[in-house]
């Protein structure tokens, strides 16, 4: 990433009432789960992916943004999210956008083969998912952006240059002092060249309005998506997962 700090997109439109954005996000409902890219349905509505290291807080962030306790499966155990989970958004049951919760990377206890498989799935997803409109990279500011995050930034850079929206979200901000938070934010802004960086806390609901407004804006300003290939073959049914995700008790 280059080191420019200027955001690729304007700041969230202040005219969009946060309440409207929250109401829209609250419509989120489970759409599908896919262990591999080929099982994802081709869609023409904008999709926003939540990516980052294991335990960064992706699933919790989706639950907080949608004001739903157990939409995405959050857990103290890293590696809880094993498949790409899609959630539809839109009033009156009409889907106008999709959120994607992706499995985290960088969890040491995962066998090497599984790690490599997942890295392939994720890089393919980020490079080829046609309706991908935005990427939210979640990062625990106590760790900062790690080498794996940098690899991810490299993967999406060409698409960011073509208009893919991008946000670095520093999660668990409640664990930092104000000075630490400001320092982490400055560093992340430098690293997120071409994108924005924001502080977020699911616990304290910090950054919630801003992120909700930003996602709304990404979706409302998305260009019309037409799929490159008219795919008339139905999406294959994924095999039953060996160990299905279950909400934490």
Using CB under 6 A, pick the residue from 70, 175, 183, 205 that binds ligand GTP: 175
Binding pattern for the stretch 24-53 against ligand GTP, x by CB under 6 A and - elsewhere:
----------------------------x-
Buried b (16+ CB within 10 A) or exposed e, 125-147: bbeebebbbbbbbbbbbeeebee
Binding pattern for the stretch 201-220 against ligand GTP, x by CB under 6 A and - elsewhere:
xxx-----------------
Tell me the closest approach of the beta carbon of residue 165 to ligand GTP, in angstroms: 20
Q: Does residue 174 belong to the site contacting ligand GTP (CB under 6 A)?
A: yes
Q: Does residue 112 belong to the site contacting ligand GTP (CB under 6 A)?
A: no
Q: From the list Mg ion, ligand GTP, none, pick the one residue 91 interacts with, judged by a Cβ distance below 5 to 8 Å according to partner type.
A: none
Report how far residue 109's alpha carbon sits from residue 218's, in angstroms, rounded to the nearest whole number.
35
Q: Does residue 57 belong to the site contacting ligand GTP (CB under 6 A)?
A: yes
Report how far residue 175's alpha carbon sits from residue 156's, in angstroms, rounded to the nearest whole number.
29
Check the CA dihedral 64-71-196-95 and report its sign.
negative
Q: Does residue 66 belong to the site contacting ligand GTP (CB under 6 A)?
A: no
> Which two tokens mark 214?
């930003």
C-beta of 103 vs 194, nearer to ligand GTP: 103
């Amino acid at each position: 990433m280059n080191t420019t700090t200027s955001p690729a997109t304007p700041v969230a439109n202040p005219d969009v009432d946060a309440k409207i954005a929250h109401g829209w996000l609250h419509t989120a409902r489970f759409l599908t789960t896919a262990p591999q890219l080929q099982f994802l349905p081709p869609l023409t509505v904008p999709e926003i992916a939540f990516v980052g290291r294991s335990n960064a807080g992706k699933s919790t962030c989706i639950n907080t943004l949608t004001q739903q306790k157990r939409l995405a499966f959050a857990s103290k155990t890293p590696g809880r999210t094993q498949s790409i989970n899609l959630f539809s958004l839109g009033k009156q049951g009409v889907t106008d956008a999709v959120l994607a919760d992706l499995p985290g990377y960088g969890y040491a206890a995962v066998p090497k083969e599984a790690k490599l498989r997942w890295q392939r799935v994720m890089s393919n997803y980020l490079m080829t998912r046609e309706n991908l409109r935005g990427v939210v990279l979640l990062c625990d500011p106590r760790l900062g952006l790690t080498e794996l995050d940098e690899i991810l930034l490299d993967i999406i850079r060409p698409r960011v240059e073509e208009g893919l929206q991008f946000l670095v979200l520093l999660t668990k901000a409640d664990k930092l002092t104000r000075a630490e938070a400001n320092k982490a934010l400055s560093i992340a802004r430098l690293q997120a060249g071409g994108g924005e960086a924001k502080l977020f806390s699911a616990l304290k609901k910090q950054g919630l309005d801003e992120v909700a407004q930003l996602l709304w804006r990404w979706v409302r300003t998305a260009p019309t998506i037409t799929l490159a290939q008219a795919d008339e073959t139905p999406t294959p049914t994924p095999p039953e997962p060996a160990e299905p995700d279950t909400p934490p008790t």
